[in-house]
Amino acid sequence: MRLSPWKEGGAIFFGNSIIEGNAQGIYLEKRIVGVKISFQIIHSSYRFLDIEELLEMNFEMQIANMLADNLKGFITFVRENHENENNCFCLNKDKLYQLKLLVEEFKFQVLADELKRINQFTWDENYTHLLVDRFRKGMAIIEEYVENNYSDLFIFTARLYTLNSLSLTFCKEEESIVS
């Protein structure tokens, strides 16, 4: 484990914990089984940070970024399939158009952009969970629509499954916190 001050601040390291002072932030580097994990944490007041908490924050931040990227990919996939005149997967263009309208209605592009923006550098747990909850509400309706029109929209089930599994990561944590 290597810990070095970042900018003008400093930190005290002992055991598995870090006490960070009035610094702009710290830079923490940890090697786990040959994998290098780096953090840049920015705080403005004293705070007791546990290294396991830092690892978990970075992991959740990466999942949120993966969810945003996959959501953007899903939106692009829907748009490209709708615009493609020679689409051999969906013969009924009306159902594909309805799917495109549902994606636009639930503002998935705005949710994906905002999710990516807030988790780009730091982990904002509350706002991430709020955005994921909004996404899950729209996702439930879209999943039901694709399931009801499976014969025409089967090509979207794999993308929906990926988005569902990534977003459930945040839902399970909320349920365990409430319980």
Mean pLDDT per segment of 10 residues, for the chain of length 179 residues?
A: 40 43 41 40 46 70 93 94 80 89 96 93 88 95 95 92 92 50
What one-character DSSP code corresponds to residue 149?
T
- Quote the pLDDT of residue 164: 94
pTM above 0.75, yes or no: no
- Quote the pLDDT of residue 32: 39
C-beta separation of 18 from 27 below 8 A: no
Helices (H), the chain: 51-83, 93-105, 108-118, 125-148, 150-153, 157-178
- Quote the pLDDT of residue 158: 94
What does the alpha-carbon distance between residue 29 and residue 43 come to, in Å, rounded to a whole number? 17
- Quote the pLDDT of residue 90: 74
- Quote the pLDDT of residue 17: 43
- Quote the pLDDT of residue 93: 86
- Which of these, 5, 16, 9, lies nearest to 56 by C-alpha position? 16
Q: Are strands 35-41 and 11-14 parallel, antiparallel or unpaired?
A: unpaired
The CA-based angle 135-70-111, given to 5 degrees, is: 35
